Amino acid sequence: MLSQETIEWPEEIEILIDQLESDSADRKLTRGERALMDIYETVPILQSDDCLHEFWQSGLSTQRIINSFELIDATSLVDPINASRWCETRTEDRNDYTDTESNHLAGIEEELAAGLEELVDLVLEFIENELS
């Protein structure tokens, strides 16, 4: 993955995430709340060195996470994630990719990095419109 600044979540998002984590022990989260948790938990994977490869190899509910990004209207992330779906069937070691595959994935990850830059604003807008 291209080096980029790690997303710094605003305090209001951090507080809301902490509250949702606490609430999830007592009640089932709404779809919007679950989407917010999915996004918050997935961003560190998408900012890791193995980025999209790690996402597809993680064992997470990838379709639910994609749906979560769609729910907050983050198409600039959904499109590159879907474009990298072929990584799901690859070996666990990203170093086993051919040069062509590696170059293709690097291009997709550039698109993803651009989408991540607007993610905080999309999450804040989603919270304001859907969870307030």
User: pLDDT tens across 3-53, in order?
Assistant: 567 899 999 999 999 999 999 999 999 999 999 999 999 999 999 999 999
Helices (H), 9-127: 11-23, 31-46, 51-57, 62-71, 75-83, 99-116, 119-126
**Is residue 61 within 8 Å of 122, Cβ to Cβ?**
no
Q: How far apart are CA 41 and CA 17, in angstroms?
A: 10
- Tell if the pTM clears 0.85, that is, is over it: yes
Domains of the chain: which residue ranges? 28-127
Q: Token pair 């607007």 is at which residue?
A: 118
User: pLDDT tens across 97-113, in order?
Assistant: 999 999 999 999 999 99
Residue 101 sits at φ, ψ, to 5 deg, of: -65, -45
